[in-house]
Amino acid sequence: MVIKDKYDRPILSFRMSITNRCNLNCLYCHHDGMIPSKDEMTPSEIAKIAEVAKDLGVKKIRLSGGEPLLRKDIVDIVDKLNQIGFKDISLTTNGTFLSKYSQDLKNAGLDRINVSLDTLNEDKYKFLTKKDYLSGVKEGILKAVEYGIYPVKINMVLMKGINEDEIWDMFTFTRDNGLILQLIELMESESCDDNSFSKNHHLDISSIEEEIKKIADEVKLRKNMQNRPKYFIGKGEIEIVKPFDNTNFCQRCTRLRLTPTGKIKPCLLRNDNLINIINPIRNGASDEELKQIFLEGISLREPYNKAECDKSYRC
Ligand code: SAM
């Protein structure tokens, strides 16, 4: 069974933000569109919500944050999700605790990870994150590969005047270490602490994509992932995430989200239509009542960029 929203988009994946806390302070961070709060869900509550999602046809879980590896119970959380039986469990991390957790996470059932890394240059890393953790992150990435987490993707947000000159160095690093490079267009968001950075450093990555296209040996589209293209160049692989002016970003969105405070979030870019599911759980709601809460969240889904939706395609 797969549930579709009123725009005919199947709900296949669930991105669960499990903390707002982060040990980096990235200049452009949209905090996954979340409002700051200290209240966090327990591993059992996270698993309960995931179970309802599974019953409604969700196949994939991605844990995010804040920084999910700041939770000391992260291995327990992955273990509990694994027991529910998802097709795929993944995690997005800044990598600073990967050396510590890679092996245990793999053993607990984690399939894949995305590691955010925008630069291989120590000074730029410090400038962007306000921390001096680059060597530890690189070490953690190699540990994840060593312990068999696959694939390990590097999320590189491109910023004009900051790291656009590093794309091919990053490509070499990813290719030589068996990783995938994911190039992300910098977004503005109401959740950024300071949107002026994103405005000033926004880079339209179309011309970079054209360059990549020309030298790619093969191109594939990720059907259930907003038709994101994957470019294969020799032994390397590059994916492009382009939310701006991209008809596929909203039209083909198959993802529902959960805030770290236990609210269903129908859209990355909105905070005005959240549905509280944690209070009903804490008040003893039945499985059927929780299912109805999920369905309400799904019924509120609509493309953020409605103008994108042309008449030929019922987005
Ligand atoms: N702490 C984890 C991490 O660093 O990966 C997970 C949370 S972070 C908000 C999730 C992803 O969002 C990261 O890959 C980050 O690069 C990306 N991101 C954050 N702000 C962004 C923005 N303004 N534009 C594009 N991507 C952004």
C-alpha pair distances (Å), 309 with each of 51, 141, 185: 32, 39, 21
Q: Which amino acid is at 306?
A: K
C-alpha pair distances (Å), 13 with each of 89, 146, 188, 233: 10, 27, 23, 28
Give the C-alpha separation, 195 to 30, whole Å.
9
* Ligand 1 pocket, residue 276 CB under 6 Å: no
Q: Give nearest CA residue, ligand 1 atom 2.
A: 93
Q: What pLDDT score does 191 carry? A: 66
Give the C-alpha separation, 99 to 101, whole Å.
6
Q: What is the mean pLDDT of each run of 10 residues along the chain (315 residues)?
A: 90 95 91 74 98 95 96 98 97 98 98 98 97 98 97 97 97 98 88 79 92 95 77 96 69 90 91 94 97 95 70 38
Give the C-alpha separation, 180 to 177, whole Å.
9
Give the C-alpha separation, 240 to 256, whole Å.
21
Q: What pLDDT score does 315 carry? A: 36
Mutate to test the pocket of ligand 1, among 26, 30, 133 (most ligand atoms within 8 A of CB): 30
Give the C-alpha separation, 28 to 119, whole Å.
14
- Give the number of the atom of ligand 1 that is nearest the alpha carbon of residue 32: 9
